[in-house]
Amino acid sequence: MLDIILTIFGICIYIPFLVQLFHTHWEKDKLLHQLTVALVSLELTALFHVPSVMYIATVLLITVFAVYVIVKRPTFRWTPILIISILYGLWFAISLFWSAIPLRGARFLLDYSLPLIAFAFLSSIWSISKEDIQQCFRTFGYAGLVFIGLSLLSWGCTCAELNILPWEWKIFGKSYINGENAYRWIFRFNGGIWGYTHPSYNLLPLFAATCGVMKLCKKHVIQPYISWLLWGGATMLTLLSQSRMGIVYAAIILMAGIVYWLPSKRLQLSAACVFLLIGVALLWGTWDKWPQYDTNHNRQKLYDVTWRYIQNKPLQGAGAGALNPIEICHTTGELYWPHVGYIDPQREVTDWQWKVHMLPHNQFMADAAHAGIIAAILSLLMYACVAVRCVRIHSYWGGVMMLIFTLFSFLEPPLYIGKGLYLFCCMICLLYTEKTIS
Q: Are 384 and 427 in contact (CB under 8 A)?
A: no
**pLDDT, position 357:** 58
CA-to-CA distance for 324 and 318, rounded, in angstroms? 9
**Over the stretch 108-159, which tens digit does the pLDDT of each residue have?**
899 999 999 999 999 888 888 888 888 999 999 999 999 999 999 999 999 9
Question: Residue 114: which of 94, 90, 78 has the closest Cα?
Answer: 90
CA distances from 128 to 51, 141, 398 (A): 26, 19, 16
Mean of the per-residue pLDDT values of the chain: 87
**Over the stretch 234-278, which tens digit does the pLDDT of each residue have?**
999 999 998 878 888 998 898 888 888 787 777 878 887 887 787
Q: How would residue 289 be classed by pLDDT, with cut points 50, 70 and 90?
A: low
**pLDDT, position 143:** 96
**pLDDT, position 436:** 43
**Over the stretch 221-238, which tens digit does the pLDDT of each residue have?**
888 889 889 999 999 999
**pLDDT, position 331:** 87
Q: Are 213 and 192 in contact (CB under 8 A)?
A: no
Average pLDDT over residues 368-380: 94
Q: How would residue 80 be classed by pLDDT, with cut points 50, 70 and 90?
A: very high
**pLDDT, position 438:** 40
Whether residue 291 is predicted with pLDDT greater than 70 in this model: the reply is no
Q: How would residue 355 be classed by pLDDT, with cut points 50, 70 and 90?
A: low
Q: Are 312 and 332 in contact (CB under 8 A)?
A: yes
